[in-house]
Amino acid sequence: MDTIFGEIELLRDDMVASLGRICAIPAISPHNGGDGEEAKAKEIEKLISELGLGAVEWQRVSDAKSPTGNRPSLFLEVKGTLPRRLCILSHMDIVPEGDRSFWSLDPYKPVTRGSRLYGRGVSDNGMAIISSLYALYALKKLNITPTYTVCLVFLSDEELGSSFGVKPLLERGLFREDDLVIAPDSGNDRGYFIEIAEKSMLRMEFTVTGKQAHAAHPNTGLNACRAANLFSVELDEALHMAFQEKDTLFDPPVSTFEPTRRFANVPNMNTIPGKERFGFDCRVLPSVPLKDVLAVVERVKDEVSRRSGAVIEMEVKGDNAAPPTSEDSDVSRLLLSSIKKVLNVKPVFGGIGGGTFAAFFRRKGIPAVVWQQEPEGTAHQPDEYTEIEYIVNNAKVFAAMMSEN
């Protein structure tokens, strides 16, 4: 194993360059104002060809909003000594950069500063793409056949729910019940945390309708902004009051109810808005039924509507928590053993707010784990970065999983 790890160390600069190369290509969902993953997928395929790792299989899912009419995912499979597959799943899509005034650099011109590489997507989830590719490349350079057949999958649409990514690909039967599945999409700085469980997810979008009017004559209208503010605050308080259960498997150990997105209303200051839209993102402990959460929402919605006179409508998207992956599953034990070989840490199993690819596999009865060594609190933030050392360490862990003996 030391020979493999030494080879990966020699590839450090190549990995950094390749990560910067793919992250220079925005891959923002067309449902979030971008052009999708096509250009990045082609660049990844080109990189795979340059590394001599074989041909990729393209899987496309129709999406009318995409400039190409579809969303691509890539499969790269390399035969091992055993037919059983180790599947490492990464996603190509990224979130938008947000307000650029908060960035100290161009999000799409990745740059190295000291021990870090900065740029949108370098941590979430470009590092996983590059680390998994170069783990396989190191084995190839050393003429080592992987123990498991390695299946690297680079997917679309993770950030907006996977409706054009892993969900339909699972339905196509592209994965097997005995696959060893890891999604490198959550972790911490020391690399000891292995995610085996996720909370239920509930996303609610509210539309509050009043009556538009001139701000100088508020009595002639019904201020949707005021009603929305009232509703948001009261809903926030009611949900936190109603659901105070704790489960120490998770971090944080409670259900979370966060007001998040606020949509633009009127373009000028002197108009009272007649319509207001905003959203809540809720990560709910598995012990809390989502129907109970929605009952509280309905109660507060009806009460605020009655008091304010505004009409409040809502759209709900939710998924109940998937069954957790057992700590004794083959993939859990394989990952734990590989982490111990690379990092001087004692791995810990736990749960997160979700959601990742793993939940979709767990619902299909396929155990899946989530892990990578990553900077905490940088994903989706301005000046997103990763430590170069983490890219190397992740590649070593993946190589150890591929070549278990």
| Token representation of residue 227 | 């009603």
- Give the SS3 label for residue 178: coil
Q: What is the dihedral of CA 96, 102, 104, 110, to 10 degrees?
A: -10
State how far the Cα of 71 lies from the Cα of 69, in Å rounded to an integer: 7
Cα separations (Å) of 172 from 160, 165, 168, 175?
20, 11, 6, 8
CB atoms within 10 A of CB 7: 21
Instruction: Count Cα atoms within 13 angstroms, Cβ side, for 371.
Output: 30
| Token representation of residue 376 | 């905490």
Contact 86, 59 (CB under 8 A): no
Chain centre to alpha carbon of residue 211: 39
Return the DSSP state at 219: G
Q: What positions carry a catalytic annotation?
A: 93, 158
Burial string for 68-85 (b: 16+ CB within 10 Å, else e) reads eebbbbbbbbbebeeeeb
Q: What angle do CA 177, 178, 183 make, to 5 degrees?
A: 90
